Structure 1
Amino acid sequence: MIYIDKIELHNFQSHKDTVIEFDRGLNVILGNSDSGKTAILRAIKWALYNEPRGDYFIRQGEKNVSVKITFSNGAVVERSKTPSKNAYYLQKPSGEEMRFEGFGTEVPKEIVEITNMYKTVLDSSNTKTILNISEQLDGPFLLNEQPSVRASAIGRLIGVNYIDDALREVVRDNKRINQDIDLLNKQKEGYKEKLKSFEYIKDYKDSYSKILNIRNEISKLSDKLDKLKNLNDRYKENRDNISKTEVLHNNLKSIDEVEKLYSNLENKSLKFLNISNIFNRFNKINIGLNSVNYTLKSLQNLNTLEDKIKSAETLNHKLINYKRLSNNFITNENLLKRNEDVLKNYRNLNEIENKLNNISLKIEVFNKNLNLNNSIKKVNSSLKIGYDYLEKFKNNEKIEMNLNKINSLSSRLDLVKRINDNILKLENDYKETRNMHKDINIKIKSLSNKYEDLIIKKGICPFCYSEINNESLEHIKYHLRND
């Protein structure tokens, strides 16, 4: 059995924000009059039974009201009302959440099934009564009701109402069946009187059977008539065909003479075809002879034509070679222009190498100065200690002399620091120029390799425009790599 574990009231009558926890068993709520004890029961009824109606129970000056009830099995029912919304919220023991709006006067079925808080019908008027909750001034169960209501309620509790309802329905059904029987008897008498007016139909049965026999005979005769019409049509067709065959027979009396003429025509047609074929062959032979004579006349100067063809072929080969050489020349010129542009960018390589050598010498000096700088830093640290010590003996002449020496050394130290900074800058410049030099060498190598590949593919020297062999190839590579 489940019970109410906790109730939370918000703006319900005198309760602004009230939380009450209950224990299993008997719970007693104590308080002064008008402190809100009855409002708790009214809030439970409003949340679980949708009673009372209206909004008079909303706290004065507020617009929203809500009652939240938590049950021992983990189910949560919350009823809330605002000026624009009237809603229920249900959280099942499994954690599933549901919201309801527009439910009318009845509590949603899902909430009733979870809480098992039903209204019960006590009498035949089918009015539903709340049995689980009674308010402060309500009397004991059924004692304030009329005797008829008490009897009906007790009968419903023990199940007697089912017998009463069954008897009531049996009596109602008996009355309705008797009324139906009377009505059917009246209809039966009326139908008997109507049947009397149709007694003449018996005489029509015999005439109807006769008419059916006549119709059957008419249908048989009409079938015979259709067959006769078909036979008549066939007879007419056959008669026409006979007349036509007679005409043909008369026309074909001289068929023997026609056959003789036909055989003569066939022989003559065969001779004509043979003669026409011979004539066509003769014409083709004449045409061929004419063409042969024309070609013989045109080929009288054949020897001179062969010499001209040979000279034309040699000239064609030369032309192809010249075209190939001109294309190679153009590509080589373009490559030379590109290489000249590249070489213009690298004319000062000797100067860069000299600068790099100078920078390397300066870096050696810088490393020496670095060592000096580290030693000077150590001297400075010791000098600071000396300064601190000499401040105690400012009036001593020897100390003043040492101080002058120290000042001169410190000025020299500043110069060394400046030189050190300049050397650091020179080292950075040296690193940048060395990286640029490496990139330039890589680019030159790649360009020279591409240029060598192009020359080898073309097979022509870019200097003398002769074909390349192994010796000339080595010579060209030497010049390309050294120049």
Structure 2
Amino acid sequence: MNNILDVRLENFQSHLDSQFTFADGLNVLIGQSDSGKTAVIRGIRWALFNQPRGTDFIRAGSDFVRVTIQFESGDRLIRERTASKNRYMIKKNGQEQQVFESFGQHVPQEVLDLHGMRPLRIDRDHELTIHLAQQLDGPFLLEQPGSMRAKTIGRISGAHYLDAAIRDTSRDLHSLNQSKRWSEEQTEQLKKDLEPYEQVIRSGEQLEKASHLFEEIKSKQARLESLQSKHQDLHTNQQLMKQSQDKLDSLKELPTIESMLYRLEWMIQRQSVFKKLHEQQQTYTEQLLKVERFLQLTESIEEAAEKERRAKTLEQKRAALIKLNDQYTQLTAIESKAYHMISQTKFVTQIPSNWEESVKQTGQRVKRLISLKDQIMAINEQLAKQHKQLETVAQIEMATLKVNQIDETYNKYQQMIEKKQAYTEIRKRMKDGEQFIQTKKQELEQLAVQYEELAKKDGICPTCGQVIEINHNHG
């Protein structure tokens, strides 16, 4: 046996590129569940014995898988599979690399000779891999019945050769004893038949010839019996080979069932992820409802903005009217002062020469004052209207704050829409995934029923190796 020093797994199940170096003595792999510990043993079995079959162990998203084993002798074994290639490669020190393809389900003889870990054939129906156990295998031979233990120990020690020799010797001895008894019976009968002819020479010669013929017949009879025995053995072997072939055909679906179990575990993990996404979607839906209620409360924001613009325009007009009011006040003061001066100068009898022009100017000023008074009255009316409008838009600042809040809420609403679209897509994928899981569960149940029927038909439990009986269990 060639001891293993180093193992490298590339795209094998959960291992992207993992390398393990083993020391002399006991080596232990530790880690959390589903971290790839069993995949290491499975990868070694795939490289050494071409098990398991199929391609389900290839890492998701990868287009090749490779397992490299370095042995104590310095030789290297590479097992590789891609979409178009399925091969073994052997690299020995000082020799060219050997490549083996198109080997089917069997392992090339050169690979078996390289590592020397051949399965131990117990009988026609049983074979043990004594160098590399699987995850659920029990201690060596302790789970096997007594007859299987005896066969295995005999096969390991070579006692089966002695058993075969004893069986063959017993069979030959039995055949010889039968021939001997038959010959003795024939001899006695011939002696009785020869008694009347003891004195006849011719009869003696005939008897000698008959003796020769008897020997020939005896030899042919023994050969015939041997041929009949071999024919019977051949018929028995053919029946056993047919039964073995039927059992092998019934177990061809086991790798497919195992791959489907792995697929089902992966889908269960995806279902848990989908559940978390479903919970997030519910949270987003609640927030979306709050945003929609807030948007309903702020539907009049455009009307408030329009009133705000009108209020700004009125404010500008109000400022202009205040200026005009100030000018009107000044003119009124000037007019009052002028009337006062006129009342005080009534006693003047002498009129200046330019009094007509002064009167005209005063008249023009009076007209302007009257016009300004009319404008002021109109402005006061507009101011009254403006105050009423300002009362209706007293909450402009609050509306502005709400506008800012609405902008933020709108941005959140857009994010919620995007998340809702993502949720819809995830919901669709969840539905497809659940449908896929349901389909695979049904297929798995059908395969389990078929497997149970095949096991019952075979009569041997594949778990414990015992004969299937009523109320058979492994509790």
- TM-score, normalised to structure 1's length? 0.35
Q: Which has the larger radius of gyration?
A: 1
TM-score by length of 2: 0.36
